[in-house]
Amino acid sequence: MLRFGTDGVRGRAYEELLPDDVARLAQAAAEVMAPSGPVVIGRDTRASSPDFADALIAGFSAVGVPTLDMGVAPTPAVAWAAARDHTPGAMVSASHNPWPDNGIKLFGPGGRKLGDEVQAALESVLADSNRGWAPNPAGPHLADDASELVRDYQTAVAATADFDGRDLRAVVDAAHGSATAALPRPLHAHGVAVTVINADPDGRNINHRCGSTYPGAVAQAVCEQNADLGLTFDGDADRVLAVDHTGELVDGDQIIAICAVDRHHQGRLPGNTVVVTVMTNLGFHRAMAQRGINVVTTPVGDRHVWSALQHGDWALGGEQSGHVIFPALASTGDGILTALQLLDVVARRGLPLRDLAAEAMAKMPQVLHNVAVGPAPIDENRLSAAVTAAEQTLGTQGRILVRPSGTEPVIRIMVEAETSEDAESVAADIAAAINS
């Protein structure tokens, strides 16, 4: 049975996730969300994505719900269209996962990701064996072509920033994914000289040795072309990381810190508060405290960040992975929009990205390990003992977080310490306890 993870439903295409599953999910969504108009649908560039988009269209059509097909589009473009027209949206993507995986992200009317209660209602409907596939007596239905919405989104996202970027040269890595449908026009609108790399999707090369999971690709191109900075997106373009002119990574924590400090100085940070997740570097917390900026921490997942932002009526939040949310500008994390906000600071301050990142925060050494897990249970007692011992070793000079992934069959280990060697040693001990 389909279950929601950190970001929608996800699994190996045609094995763990079947077109019939997706069609049933569409019917469940129609029942739970009761859309009053057409559902807007987008997809990334995976080989399986057209099949799953067709399954969504078939599922909605079978229960009389019309659909608008954007084709290949960034996830935030689907959210933008859903918000503009106050209608649900559905995106076919497994984000940063490799090409054999796929998934579905759903947006409620208004373009926001579904809350826990709505997801639970959908799971309940899907688990009800009395609800079968609704027949479609009229035969197959075609969605209305809505590819023009992608260009409308490009115009809208470009309008979220106002800066003169004619002195900036940027390399942009599209990850052979959804960003290929929207770049480089929003950056060109501000005069930025752009070189786009990894923009030739073939169905199997999405995220492969490129994009935000492999920032070395854009770093190399920036250095070779003597560019000012690089921007690298994930497969569905809802997150972005950057590199400076030396090829050094500027991650989501640093991007949020740069924007938070800039808005704080301008009096544009309501409540002097920023929202981040438990994965955020301890150096971020220290830097914000030094400036009198409050930090609210949530579980991993940009929908948790969004919920906290809405609850506090705050203006900026996000994740180390590059999901950054500006609630006044978008209803979800948007990699292209975030890139524009970052470029706005770079252009206005007239400083290299490297200097802005160093000014905003000093990162503590952080080690991230992903430990693959199978069906066999983990020795919880041994793992707990290893974590307790590690916490005693680090004391107040570090931090440990161990959690199951919401998108992959792995346990994620994050360790921060005063030195990289200490962090690596602690992470290795915890990984050994899991592998045992």
pLDDT for 243-270, tens place per residue? 999 999 999 999 999 999 999 999 999 9
| pLDDT range class, residue 137, cuts 50, 70, 90 | very low
Is residue 119, in this structure, part of any structural domain at all?
yes
Q: How confident is the model at residue 209 (pLDDT cuts 50, 70, 90)?
A: very high
Residue 139: pLDDT over 70: no
User: What's the domain range around 309?
Assistant: 250-360
Residue 2 lies in a domain: no
Domain annotation covers residue 56: yes
| Least confident segment among 39-48, 132-141, 153-162, 220-229 | 132-141
Domain boundary among 203, 218, 247: 247
Q: Which of 317, 342, 360 is the last residue of a domain?
A: 360
> Among residues 329, 360, 391, which one ends one of the domains?
360
Predicted pLDDT of residue 30? 94
- Residue 189 forms part of a structural domain: yes
Phi and psi at 336, nearest 5°, equal: -70, -45
pLDDT in tens, 383-414: 888 888 878 888 777 888 888 877 778 888 88
Least confident range from 133-137, 199-203, 329-333, 424-428: namely 133-137
What is the chain's length? 436
Shared-domain flag, residues 220 and 103: no
Q: Same domain, yes or no, for 28 and 84? A: yes
- β-strand partners of 39: 67
Same domain, 256 and 314: yes
- Comparing 208 with 279, the larger pLDDT belongs to 208
Number of structural domains in the chain:
4
Is there a single domain that holds both residue 27 and residue 134?
Answer: yes
Judge if 103 and 213 occupy the same domain: no
CATH code, domain with 381: 3.30.310.50
Give the contacts of 336 (CB within 8 A, at least 6 positions apart). 74, 76, 157, 179, 182, 183, 186, 233, 237, 240
Q: What is the pLDDT of residue 136?
A: 58
What is the set of active-site residues? 95
- Whether residue 134 is predicted with pLDDT greater than 80 in this model: the reply is no
Q: Is the pLDDT of residue 15 over 50?
A: yes
Average pLDDT, integer, range 133-139: 56
Average pLDDT over residues 71-78: 98
Lowest-confidence segment of 224-228, 268-272, 359-363, 399-403 by average pLDDT: 399-403
Burial 341-380 (b: 16+ CB within 10 A, else e): bbbbbbbeeeeebbebbbebbebbbbbebebebeeeebee
CA atoms within 13 Å, Cβ hemisphere of 109: 11
Kindly state whether residue 4 falls inside one of the protein's structural domains: no
pLDDT band at 141 (very low <50, low <70, confident <90, very high): low
Per-residue pLDDT tens digits for 173-195: 999 999 999 999 999 999 999 99
CATH number at residue 211: 3.40.120.10
* Domain shared by 257 and 172, yes or no: no
Mean pLDDT score across all residues of the chain: 92
The CA-CA-CA angle for residues 91, 156, 149, to 5°, reads 45
Is the confidence at residue 40, as pLDDT, over 70?
Answer: yes
